[in-house]
Amino acid sequence: MQKRHTPEEQAIEIMRGNDRGGYTVPTPGLYPYQWNWDSVFAALGFAVLDRGRAWQEIETLFQGQWADGMVPHIVFRKNDPSYFPGPDIWKSNTDPMSSGHSQPPVAASVILTLAKTGGKDDMARARRLFPKLIASHRWWHDYRDPDRTGLVGIIHPWESGRDNCPDWDIGMDRIVVPDDLGPYHRRDTDHVDADERPTVQQYDRFLTIVKFGRECGWNHRKIAAEGPFFMADPGVQFTLMRADRDLLELGRLLGEMFDEGEVEGWIELSQQGALSMWNGDIEAFVARDLRAGEFSTALTNASMLAFYAGAGTGDQLGLLAGHGREILDICEYGFPSWDPRHEAFESRRYWRGPVWSVMNYMIAIGLEEHGYAGMAERLRNDCRQLPELSGFYEYFDPLSGEGLGGPDFTWTAAIYLALGCGLDPALAKV
């Protein structure tokens, strides 16, 4: 009789199986390239197995960094017809080929965790990446906050990593799809049930933004000023705020000579900027259209990253914790990507309801640090229980726990492994 594999063994097999030699794909078929924040979280999982491989994952990601400092959301090393839109649609003219915008900047935070839990080699590899991290943070503050408001914008819902969250409906509704967008063949629904993916209307708008970027040669000044979409995202804002603080700590830990005042300036300004994402009607930080000023209308798992960022006032965080608790009471598994009490909630559709392990990982760190240990523990447990119950899927139904989206998913496995051995900056082992 064949021995059944433990969940840990399965997670390790997934990480190894998705390894393409120096970088991992999130899942074969659906996502056949290197994705930005997927890779950074993959590094956390690899750190449990093989420190050298963990660093290599981040190093290969930064091979895709643009001259202006941007780390693109996809690094394409070859053309794979199983994915759309591939490099020929983006036409970013970079080597290696890449997409034209970024993704939540989580690298400095994970690198700090690796540096603090490692030895001499970890410090040396962190040191080599440090100037690249500075350049990428400078890019965010410069290109995505051109008026120095302390609030960074995103130019595409894909930049948030939370592609079709109802947060973007306000900005997406304003996009006019041009007649010459042309026919295209989506590949994601060849791999995954269409009910679990963005709609056709959303895809048309996603591609309209890519067309604008491509046609202006990915001129990010122009895209931020005139592009079809520019919204503030609590996910990007809060991961950047956390990453700025972690960058400062990392620079000091490494004994690097750098302009500490510049980083301190970003931290201070972002604290101010974040306050303008507070929607008093629902008592949460939410996405906001940066052109029209309009707020999104419900609390998300990205709103809950305020703790991780250390954003907002004590009163605001108290209110947020209360609402978070109410939402968790409704769900079998937390934290949902959209408030289940809101009419737009869909428990199975991508970022319109389902639970994502990487978001839970970061939310739990913030909650733990702010004294909400019970809620933090609940979210960490859910990240371990869901794959044990349903397999290592991309995301999960918060009501039933069903695994959805891509199977054998790298970051779900990585977070499972990292939490299993306490690789978590809010817990004592780091």
The active-site residue, picked from 289, 394, 397, 402, is 394
User: Hey, is 96 helix, strand or coil?
Assistant: coil
Tally of CB atoms within 10 A around 277: 24
Sign of CA dihedral 358, 363, 368, 372: negative
Site for ligand DGY in 187-206 (CB under 6 A): 188
Q: How far is the CB of 250 from ligand DGY (least distance, A)?
A: 27
User: What track of x and - describes contact with ligand DGY for positions 17 through 56 (by CB under 6 A)?
Assistant: ----------------------------------------
Q: How far is the CB of 273 from ligand DGY (least distance, A)?
A: 25
Q: Please select the residue that binds ligand DGY; options are 53, 73, 101, 380, rule is CB under 6 A.
A: 73
User: Hey, is 47 helix, strand or coil?
Assistant: helix
| Nearest CB to ligand DGY, comparing residues 229 and 266 | 229
Q: How far is the CB of 105 from ligand DGY (least distance, A)?
A: 15
Sign of CA dihedral 212, 293, 135, 301: negative
State the residue number with the nearest CB to ligand DGY.
158
Q: Distance between CA atoms of 216 and 8, rounded to whole angstroms? A: 47
Strand (E) or helix (H) holding 34:
strand 34-35
Site for ligand DGY in 391-420 (CB under 6 A): none
394 is a catalytic site residue: yes
| Nearest C-alpha neighbor of 416 from the set 391, 100, 181 | 391
Strand (E) or helix (H) holding 75:
strand 74-76
Site for ligand DGY in 131-170 (CB under 6 A): 158, 163
Q: How far is the CB of 188 from ligand DGY (least distance, A)?
A: 6
Which residue do the tokens 């394409």 mark?
Answer: 76
Q: How far is the CB of 206 from ligand DGY (least distance, A)?
A: 8
Q: How far is the CB of 158 from ligand DGY (least distance, A)?
A: 4
Applying CB under 6 A, what is the total number of residues that bind ligand DGY? 4
Q: Distance between CA atoms of 244 and 138, rounded to whole angstroms? A: 10
Q: Distance between CA atoms of 365 and 418, rounded to whole angstroms? A: 13
One-character DSSP codes across 243-305 = HHHHHHHHHHHHT----HHHHHHHHHHHHHHHHTTEETTTTEE--EETTT-PBP-S--TTGGG
| Nearest CB to ligand DGY, comparing residues 73 and 348 | 73
326 is a catalytic site residue: no
One-character DSSP codes across 174-197 = TPPPPGGG-----SHHHHS-GGGS
The active-site residue, picked from 38, 145, 159, 163, is 163
Phi, psi (deg, nearest 5) at residue 347 = -65, -20
Q: How far is the CB of 395 from ligand DGY (least distance, A)?
A: 11
Hey, which residues are catalytic here? 163, 394
Note the residues at the interface with ligand DGY (CB under 6 A): 73, 158, 163, 188
